Structure 1
Amino acid sequence: MRRRVSRQSEAELDAAGITDPGLRAAYAESRELNSSHGRTYFLATRLLSPDRRPAIHALYGFARLADEIVDDLGDGRSAAARGAALEDLGIDLVSAFSGGPSTSPVVRAVADTVRRYGIDQRLFSPFLTSMRMDTHVTDYPTSADLDRYVYGSAAVIGLQVLPVLGSPDPEAAAPRAATLGVAFQLTNFLRDIGEDLDRDRVYLPADELAAFGVDRELLQHCRRTRRTDPRLRRALAHLVARTRATYRRAEPGIALLAPESRDCVRCAFVLYGGILDEIVAADYDVLHHRARVPKARRLAVAAPALAHAVWTRKIGKSDR
């Protein structure tokens, strides 16, 4: 059944010049995935000019599609079956890149986005490699091991998004965009420790945890007893500080983006960084509940950013 396209989505698709009815429905499905699962990202995307939003929804939708293959443990599929599903997704994507048919509307939308913005198709291979790791890798002995996973799961996402956001100096902006993707991912790891443990995964470097006397057994004990051990608090404080440093390395890249995209990325930067504030405020009690930025704070950040984004777009049009 074809997805009903909302009025807001219709306006964005019109602005982007996407006219094919089937393609419009495919983008609408990607938008729904972003709206349902990526609340902070979706809010930030609203700060972009309408013509750029469908592409961001498509990129997020594809990443979410792969996530669901590896993370939906309720469907009863084995690790081998999940790996096979990811292989099929990769084959489907390659077919769509070459103009062939696709079995997934989300894949069709992301392939169209890649063509429209000249995104390097090779960036999707390391992403799918990292997703396949999730079907069989449960621990990361060192930060270097985790870095290899994070490159594919997060750094390349920043590089995929960069052509959509635009930059007068893409070569200088690229490493900062990749670093910001990593900062967002590291924040997710800290926020989702408990949920990841339930999936038998630990996305924190074992050697860094061990320096504070923390191992998987202690993590599981804290999850089970709903108590946070002082050793774990110290380890998490260290990892939060390291993640904040990653944000600091990424921040100069915002000024390297097209002016009309900066408010969007700044909003995501502030709100996602705010998750770290919530983790600290909760005294690192992240194994029992998910740290979230309160809605009031999200709106307080987004509202002035939206006003500035609209002003920036008007100024940009008057200068043409």
Structure 2
Amino acid sequence: MEEFTHTSAPVRAAYSYCEAVTGTQARNFAYGIRLLPADKRQAMSALYAFSRRVDDIGDGLLGEAVKRDRLEGTRELLGRIRDGAVDEDDTDPVAVALADAAHRFPIPLDALDELIDGVLMDVRGETYETWDDLKVYCRCVAGAIGRLSLGVFGTLPGARGGERASEYADTLGLALQLTNILRDVREDASSGRTYLPTDDLAKFGCTDGFQRAIPPSGADFTGLVHFEVRRARGLFAEGYRLLPMLDRRSGACVAAMAGIYRRLLDRIERDPMAVLRGRVSLPGREKAYVAVRGLSGLDARHISRKAVRRRVR
């Protein structure tokens, strides 16, 4: 693995810790960021490790009050990082790594505040009446990650449409999150969570019993899934406009991560009922194949051709 030669041993150790967290807990994410140069890869690992800490608080077995307190404690830590009050002697490796990454890259740390806000929505057990309501949540927990990542990637000088790069990164985050929601229908239902908009559930007769991930008799669950897949595909098509604005390796990272989720979406579309039987996933060899396609630029060119055909139609 490439190493920094200009950082101290404590900072290198902090990054190593974050990379270990990423490698063991974020298989899809890790496949993408391994395509990046060392400084960007480690900054992305620091972002993931902090985000994972926030998610783990929200998903834990603690009571609501304790979760709120811990999330606000994490927000205070973020404030210290933002204010430059964390140095290499801090005992929290995630804070050390994120502080160093924020010093090296123009990372919009306020987006991590949005992530905390999104997890607080989970803690409160919020549900969503419409897609517009759900978009607010998705922008907090996923669109924010897209914008944070863009801070690490940067855009090519003079990139056409570069002023919209943050918007495209946000939209790509929404596409990934909606794919996650479809993939995790059963797991979320077992935890008492329903993310799909109430209006959409009602439209396909899936409201009653959905908390148990058992569509009622006569429900058009397949129609519901296909409806949400089409929505996710539209978000992917819009978000992929970001790719030409990135350098080759950053673009490859984005194409790989998004490509994995697009293939998950393909599987879900082919067999909608699979999400009720368990978590849909890709084998490691297929993820590696997607990563290679991303590095070669094949996925980006394929998506661009599809976008052109869509506009022509």
TM-score (norm 2): 0.86
Q: Does 1:65 align with 2:53?
A: yes
Assess if the C-alpha contact under 8 Å between 1:278 and 1:293 holds in 2: no
Once the 2 structures are TM-superposed, how far is the Cα of residue 182 of structure 1 from its aligned partner?
1.0
The alpha-carbon distance between structure 1 residues 218 and 174, as it changes in their structure 2 partners (threshold 3 A), is closer
Assess if the C-alpha contact under 8 Å between 1:93 and 1:111 holds in 2: no
Q: Deviations over 1:223-260 (max 9, x none)?
A: 8xxx9975212111111111111101111111111233
Which 5+ residue runs of structure 2 have no aligned equivalent? 299-313
Paired position in structure 2 for 1:195: 187
Structure 1 counterpart of 2:83, from 69, 92, 98: 98
Q: Write the distance in 1 (CA, Å) between the matches of 2:189 and 2:57.
A: 18
- Secondary structure at the residue paired with 1:290? coil
- Secondary structure at the residue paired with 1:134? helix
Assess if the C-alpha contact under 8 Å between 2:153 and 2:250 holds in 1: yes
Q: Write the distance in 2 (CA, Å) between the matches of 1:233 and 1:48.
A: 38
Give the letter for the 2:35 counterpart: L
The alpha-carbon distance between structure 1 residues 130 and 45, as it changes in their structure 2 partners (threshold 3 A), is same
Once the 2 structures are TM-superposed, how far is the Cα of residue 172 of structure 1 from its aligned partner?
2.6
Paired position in structure 1 for 2:304: none
Paired position in structure 2 for 1:118: 106
Q: Deviations over 1:32-58 (max 9, x none)?
A: 221112111101111112221001111
Q: Write the distance in 2 (CA, Å) between the matches of 1:280 and 1:203.
A: 18
Q: Write the distance in 2 (CA, Å) between the matches of 1:104 and 1:143.
A: 38
Q: Write the distance in 1 (CA, Å) between the matches of 2:18 and 2:217.
A: 38
Q: Deviations over 1:69-101 (max 9, x none)?
A: 11123xxx1011011100001101111222224
Once the 2 structures are TM-superposed, how far is the Cα of residue 301 of structure 1 from its aligned partner?
2.1
Paired position in structure 1 for 2:21: 33
Q: Write the distance in 1 (CA, Å) between the matches of 2:183 and 2:218.
A: 17
Give the letter for the 2:274 counterpart: D
- Secondary structure at the residue paired with 2:123? coil
Assess if the C-alpha contact under 8 Å between 2:192 and 2:211 holds in 1: no
Once the 2 structures are TM-superposed, how far is the Cα of residue 219 of structure 1 from its aligned partner?
4.5
Once the 2 structures are TM-superposed, how far is the Cα of residue 287 of structure 1 from its aligned partner?
2.0
Paired position in structure 2 for 1:235: 224
TM-score (norm 1): 0.84
Once the 2 structures are TM-superposed, how far is the Cα of residue 281 of structure 1 from its aligned partner?
2.8
Paired position in structure 2 for 1:283: 272
Give the letter for the 2:248 counterpart: P
Assess if the C-alpha contact under 8 Å between 2:108 and 2:151 holds in 1: no
Structure 2 counterpart of 1:250, from 239, 244, 249: 239
- Secondary structure at the residue paired with 2:48? helix
Structure 2 counterpart of 1:143, from 102, 116, 131: 131
Q: Does 1:54 align with 2:27?
A: no
Q: What is the aligned-residue identity percentage? A: 31
The alpha-carbon distance between structure 1 residues 190 and 178, as it changes in their structure 2 partners (threshold 3 A), is same
Assess if the C-alpha contact under 8 Å between 2:31 and 2:288 holds in 1: no
